[in-house]
């Protein structure tokens, strides 16, 4: 159980951004009127995080297997690959191990990332083996905890069919949810779902809420039950040594796509053209494409779309998260702050519940605090997630006046995920696809690779009468591999 909750907590990391330079990345985009090489159709991917890099990878699988003739350009506004997956060095010193600042962990059930780690020879670090003492804080006192059940196992069993040869494809996420029998999960809050299924209120409002707050910055009575279930389904949490972003860099390397870093897309327009109906305008000029894959949260891109297309994507509030990484020579948190007696153990991982507030007490000042191991004999790295910035003075008091280096970052980390019966469209128009429509459903690195696989299948089917695994579209004739087998759809076909 504990390992579940370690989840993003354990995985968060820090310090300076990793310097990023890969020789095959380019900084000039081809002009709009350039004739494509050999008349090859072109696809643009906007964003080089989990979604965009994996989209390029999936396209390259179809190229390798079936000779699908297509050239791919990836646009990335920053100078690095990985998006919300990024690392920093404690003290800004690259002799220390880099720490994850954003997306930190994934699990074995995340078969695309797991497989990528193996195929690309990246080293997995098993965080569940790291011993952390868990505490749950309601703002004023430490609470006890409970036990988890079959509900999550049922959800995971259904989820794992996405890796079989019979995986559905979808252009409507609500239909996908219904086909999985998840209507109730998306339309109820975590609190409604778990309590109506017999889970005790104490368990729900203490333990499951602690997980939904650390993983999604949202309380159990406001987040939909599917995402709440995901946040407690993190057995065997792992991360890539040196940074998860390396998977996404490898995806791009493998794909041989043209990658334009430091290139912000500002506008997408349409024109009368059979071969290049979409024009991607970046800060380096316009280029025409057969199809475009938008692989970033639309409202965070500042991209101007024709209004008939933009209006299809509903307004999207985000969780604005403050991530504070620090080093401290204090081996534990201040006992007085936690009102602990001298012989009580001080948790090294502190999750929070909002239940104290519901009972008229004060709110926790943070969502989670976790010790992440030592960088020196007597210096620990700690990660704090909070809704508001945490002040130096508060940090000093919490860590017994022994705070060293501090690194602060802010993210519009994930969509707010209230219960819903509708999601943004996956396909905005013929040749224009939106991977991150999936995020208000489930927001993780892995599910972005699943969403991109689906989008690439739709696109290849529409434009090239093909798909990642062949002329057929996913999920028809091939024998379905059992959900628990090593077969991974898209990798093994
Ligand atoms: C603090 C934090 C902790 C998290 N913890 C976890 C975790 O433990 N496990 C997990 O699986 N997930 C976690 N997540 C969620 C995870 O980061 C996301 O679900 C996933 O990384 C999203 O990938 P993406 O490629 O869809 O989007 P992003 O990673 O956001 O990538 C989008 C890319 O598009 C680029 N872009 C945006 N606009 C433009 C433009 N106009 N032109 C060109 N490029 C553009 C961006 O620079 C970015 O690189 C966490 C997120 C945060 C913030």
Q: HEC string of 446-478?
A: HHHHHHHHHHHHHHHHHHHCCCCCCCCCCCCCC
**Residue 424 half-sphere exposure, CB side, CA atoms within 13 Å?**
28
Same domain, 220 and 256: no
- The reported pLDDT for the residue numbered 124 is 95
Asked if residue 108 belongs to a domain, the reply is: no
Query: Does residue 341 register a pLDDT over 70?
Result: yes
Please give the number of the atom of ligand 1 that sits closest to the Cα of 248. Answer: 25
Query: Does residue 24 register a pLDDT over 50?
Result: no
Work out the mean pLDDT of the chain and round it to a whole number.
Answer: 87
**Helices and strands (H, E) in the chain, number of each type:** 15, 21
Q: Ligand 1 centroid to 37 CA: how many Å?
A: 32
Provide the sign of the torsion angle of the four alpha carbons 427, 433, 437, 443, taken in this order: positive
Q: To which H or E segment does residue 153 belong? A: helix 150-160
Asked if residue 225 belongs to a domain, the reply is: yes
Asked if residue 24 belongs to a domain, the reply is: no
Q: Which residue minimizes the CA distance to atom 20 of ligand 1? A: 445
The C-alpha atoms of residue 468 and residue 399 are separated, in whole angstroms, by 52
Q: Ligand 1 centroid to 85 CA: how many Å?
A: 6
For 476, counting Cβ atoms within 10 Å of its Cβ (0-12 exposed, 13-18 middle, 19+ buried), the class is exposed
Asked if residue 157 belongs to a domain, the reply is: yes
Same domain, 275 and 298: yes
Query: Does residue 27 register a pLDDT over 50?
Result: no
Query: Does residue 380 register a pLDDT over 70?
Result: yes
Same domain, 298 and 325: no
Please give the number of the atom of ligand 1 that sits closest to the Cα of 75. Answer: 43
Q: Ligand 1 centroid to 416 CA: how many Å?
A: 14
Asked if residue 210 belongs to a domain, the reply is: yes
Give percent of the chain above pLDDT 70: 87
Please give the number of the atom of ligand 1 that sits closest to the Cα of 412. Answer: 53
Query: Does residue 476 register a pLDDT over 70?
Result: no
Same domain, 75 and 222: no
Q: What would the pLDDT profile of 275-292 be if each residue is shown by its tens digit?
A: 999 999 998 899 999 999
Same domain, 224 and 272: no
Q: Ligand 1 centroid to 234 CA: how many Å?
A: 19
Q: Ligand 1 centroid to 479 CA: how many Å?
A: 34
Hey, which of 44, 84, 424 would you mutate to test ligand 1's pocket, going by the most ligand atoms within 8 Å of its Cβ?
84
Residue corresponding to tokens 């940090």: 395
Q: Which residue minimizes the CA distance to atom 38 of ligand 1? A: 301
**Which among 168, 432, 388, 446 is positioned nearest to 279, based on CA atoms?**
432
Q: Ligand 1 centroid to 114 CA: how many Å?
A: 18
Q: What would the pLDDT profile of 386-403 be if each residue is shown by its tens digit?
A: 999 999 999 999 999 999
Query: Does residue 67 register a pLDDT over 60?
Result: yes
Query: Does residue 297 register a pLDDT over 90?
Result: yes
Asked if residue 274 belongs to a domain, the reply is: yes
Q: What would the pLDDT profile of 122-144 be if each residue is shown by its tens digit?
A: 999 988 777 677 777 788 777 64
Average pLDDT over residues 454-470: 93
* Domain closes at, from 217, 234, 251: 234
The C-alpha atoms of residue 309 and residue 312 are separated, in whole angstroms, by 6
170 contacts: CB under 8 Å, gap ≥ 6: 176, 426, 454
More confident residue, 128 or 317: 317
Whole-angstrom Cα Rg for the chain: 23
Q: Which residue minimizes the CA distance to atom 34 of ligand 1? A: 47
Q: To which H or E segment does residue 78 belong? A: none
Same domain, 350 and 255: no
- The reported pLDDT for the residue numbered 29 is 57
Q: Ligand 1 centroid to 238 CA: how many Å?
A: 18
The CATH number linked to 289 is 3.50.50.60
Asked if residue 248 belongs to a domain, the reply is: yes
Q: Ligand 1 centroid to 145 CA: how many Å?
A: 32
Give yes or no for a contact between 73 and 25, defined as CB atoms under 8 angstroms apart.
Answer: no
State CA 476 to chain mean position distance.
29
* Domain closes at, from 382, 415, 448: 415
Residue 186 is encoded by which pair of tokens? 């998306």
Q: Which residue minimizes the CA distance to atom 35 of ligand 1? A: 47
Determine the structural domain holding residue 324 and report its residue range. Answer: 318-415
The C-alpha atoms of residue 493 and residue 64 are separated, in whole angstroms, by 13
Buried b or exposed e, range 146-178, using 16+ CB within 10 angstroms: eebeebbeebbeebbbbbbbbbebbeebbebbe
Query: Does residue 316 register a pLDDT over 60?
Result: yes
Query: Does residue 12 register a pLDDT over 70?
Result: no
- The reported pLDDT for the residue numbered 482 is 60
Ligand 1 pocket, residues with Cβ under 6 angstroms: 8, 11, 46-52, 75-78, 83-85, 102-106, 264-265, 295-296, 301-303, 321, 323, 411, 413-414, 436, 443-446, 448
Domain count, the chain: 3
The CATH number linked to 401 is 3.30.70
Least confident stretch, 65-69, 86-90, 267-271, 432-436: 65-69
Average pLDDT over residues 433-457: 97
State CA 487 to chain mean position distance.
23
Least confident stretch, 50-64, 131-145, 197-211: 131-145
Q: Ligand 1 centroid to 49 CA: how many Å?
A: 6
Residue 392 is encoded by which pair of tokens? 């130096």
Q: What would the pLDDT profile of 420-430 be if each residue is shown by its tens digit?
A: 999 999 999 99
Q: Which residue minimizes the CA distance to atom 12 of ligand 1? A: 444
Q: What would the pLDDT profile of 347-362 be if each residue is shown by its tens digit?
A: 999 999 999 999 999 9
Same domain, 379 and 446: no
């Amino acid at each position: 159980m504990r390992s579940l909750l370690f989840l993003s907590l354990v995985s968060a990391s820090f310090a300076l951004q990793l310097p990023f330079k890969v020789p095959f990345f380019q900084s000039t985009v081809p002009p709009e009127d350039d004739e494509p090489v050999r008349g090859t159709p072109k696809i643009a991917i906007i964003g080089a995080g989990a979604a965009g890099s994996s989209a390029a990878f999936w396209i390259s699988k179809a190229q390798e297997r079936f000779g699908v003739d297509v050239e791919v350009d990836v646009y990335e506004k920053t100078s690095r690959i990985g998006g919300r997956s990024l690392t920093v060095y404690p003290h800004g010193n690259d002799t220390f191990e880099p720490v994850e600042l954003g997306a930190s962990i994934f699990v074995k059930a995340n078969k695309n990332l797991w497989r990528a780690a193996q195929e690309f020879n990246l080293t997995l670090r098993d965080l569940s083996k790291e011993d952390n003492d868990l505490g749950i804080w309601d703002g004023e006192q430490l609470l006890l905890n409970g036990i988890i059940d079959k509900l999550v196992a049922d959800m995971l069993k259904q989820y794992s069919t996405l890796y079989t040869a019979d995986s559905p494809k979808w252009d409507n996420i609500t239909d996908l949810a219904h086909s999985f029998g998840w209507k109730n999960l998306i339309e109820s809050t975590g609190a409604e779902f778990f309590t109506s299924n017999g889970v005790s209120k104490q368990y729900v409002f203490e333990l499951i809420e602690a997980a939904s707050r650390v993983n999604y910055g949202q309380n159990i009575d406001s987040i939909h039950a599917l995402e709440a279930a995901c946040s407690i389904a993190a057995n065997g949490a792992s991360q890539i040594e040196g940074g998860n972003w390396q998977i996404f860099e490898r995806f791009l390397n493998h794909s041989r796509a043209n990658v334009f870093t430091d290139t912000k897309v500002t506008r997408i327009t349409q024109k009368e053209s059979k071969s290049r109906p979409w024009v991607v305008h970046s800060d380096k000029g316009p280029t025409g494409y057969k199809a475009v894959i938008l692989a970033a949260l639309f409202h965070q891109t500042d991209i101007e779309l024709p209004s008939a297309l933009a209006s299809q994507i509903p307004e999207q509030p985000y969780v604005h998260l403050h991530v504070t990484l620090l080093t401290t020579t204090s081996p534990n948190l201040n006992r007085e702050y936690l009102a602990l007696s001298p012989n009580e153990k001080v948790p090294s991982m502190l999750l929070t519940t909002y239940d104290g507030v519901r009972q008229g007490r004060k709110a926790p000042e943070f969502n989670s605090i976790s010790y992440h191991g030592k960088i020196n004999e007597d210096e620990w790295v700690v990660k704090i997630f909070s809704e508001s910035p945490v002040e130096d003075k508060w940090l000093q008091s919490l860590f017994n006046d022994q705070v060293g280096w501090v690194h602060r970052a802010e993210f519009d980390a994930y969509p707010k995920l209230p219960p819903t019966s509708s999601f943004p469209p996956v396909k905005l128009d013929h040749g224009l696809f939106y991977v991150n429509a999936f995020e208000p459903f489930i927001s993780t690195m892995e599910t972005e690779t699943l969403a991109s696989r689906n989008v690439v299948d739709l696109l290849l089917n529409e434009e090239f009468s093909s798909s990642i695994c062949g002329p057929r579209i996913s999920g028809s004739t091939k024998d379905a591999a059992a959900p628990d087998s090593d077969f991974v759809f898209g990798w093994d076909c």
